[in-house]
Amino acid sequence: MERENLKKGIYILPNFFTSMNIFCGFYAIIASIDARFADAAIAILIGGIFDLLDGKIARATNTTSRFGLEYDSLADLVTFGMAPSLMMILWVLKPMGRLGWVAGFLFMICGALRLARFNTKAGTPESSGNFEGLPIPAAAAMTAITVLLFSRFNIEPDPYRVGFLVMLYCLSFCMVSSIKYQSFKKVSFFNKMKFNWLVGLVLILATVVYEPWIVLFAALSVYVLSGPLFFLYSHHIMFPWQKNKKKK
């Protein structure tokens, strides 16, 4: 039955955006090899926009399919797994030798595991809630924004090499962990919104345009940290005295 449906054709629009996602990942790899790391980082971020749009468009137009899900995962592994790993290795981790490329490999393999776990749970009731583990596009965007921030202020990354190594290990752990992250699946570009929300969105966009890399770095840092912090809070690890209050 699946082969027959595949022969009939696939949905063009969402899969076109997925193809553009792969193109961005491929371009980011080529740019990293040519030592154009800022271009590689921007390509990864643009790939994230295409990744966001293909899912939104597929759901809005009711053109979701198993083929689209698998194709999207392959695209994500290229753009948000391979591309940022290679970018970070060639940008700053290469002088660390084996320790550096192992960190890059760990980032990519954890991203692949994260995607595989997501696909196995697609369509189940728990898939409609929050994400389990840090989404791979967010992890990749964190690396890309970091590169762009250092490029924006002409900061030499070599003195912070160990910090970047730790960052990759932490992002890798967050992707394969069971820590919950907000999914924002209920947010839709095609639904009506209140006027105040529109004004707030315009103000946020104006702030991003004024100093994009600082604002995006801060926003992504908050999102990445939100999962572990909420986990510690919900398990009374960060504020143990709250558990005592509930007992009373």
Helices (H), 122-211: 136-152, 161-176, 195-210
The CATH number of the structural domain formed by 2-247 is 1.20.120.1760
Per-residue buried b or exposed e for 7-38, using 16+ beta carbons within 10 Å of the residue's own CB:
eeeebeebbebbebbbbbbbbbbebbeeeebb
Place of tokens 């940022």: 84
Assign 182 to helix, strand or coil: coil
Asked if 114 and 144 count as a contact pair (C-beta separation under 8 A), the reply is no
Q: In what helix (H) or strand (E) does residue 105 lie, and over which residues does it extend?
A: helix 98-120
Asked if 99 and 165 count as a contact pair (C-beta separation under 8 A), the reply is yes
Distance CA(9)–CA(143), nearest Å, equals 37
Tell which phi-psi region holds residue 124, choosing left (phi > 0), alpha (psi between -120 and 50) or beta.
beta
| Per-residue pLDDT band at 1 (split at 50, 70, 90) | very low
For 167-226, the pLDDT digits (tens) are 999 999 999 999 999 886 655 555 666 667 677 777 777 777 778 888 899 999 999 999
pTM of the model: 0.84
Domain extents for the chain? 2-247
